[in-house]
Amino acid sequence: MDHSVIDSTVILKTFEIVVQARSVTLIEILEALNPQEDARVEIKSEIHEALDWLVERGLVKVREAPIEDFSIYYVTSDGLLAWSSLKGAGVLDKDEPASRLITG
Partner 1 sequence: MLSGTAVSVFLAILFTLLCALVEVLTGARREIEKKSIPRTQPKIRSCVTTKYWLYVGGLIPFNVASTLLAWYQLPRWFPEFFDWLGRGSNFMFAFVGVFLFQVLVTNTDIWIFSKGVMAFQKWTSLVRTPAIGAAIEKESERDRRRQQLIADALYDVISETDLNTRIREIVGGEEADRLDANAQEADDSKLYKLLWLARRDPTAAESILNAKESS
Sign of torsion over alpha carbons 66, 83, 6, 78? negative
Q: Give residues with Cβ within 8 angstroms of 55, minimum separation 6.
A: 61, 62, 73
Residue 55 binds to partner 1 (criterion: CB under 8 A)? no
Q: Shortest Cβ distance from residue 99 to partner 1 (Å)? A: 23
Residue 84 binds to partner 1 (criterion: CB under 8 A)? yes
Report yes or no: 14 and 97 within 8 Å, Cβ to Cβ: no
Of the residues 46, 48, 55, 76, which one makes contact with partner 1 according to CB under 8 A: 76
Binding site for partner 1 (CB under 8 A): 17, 19-25, 27-28, 31-32, 37, 61, 63, 65-67, 69-70, 72, 74-81, 84
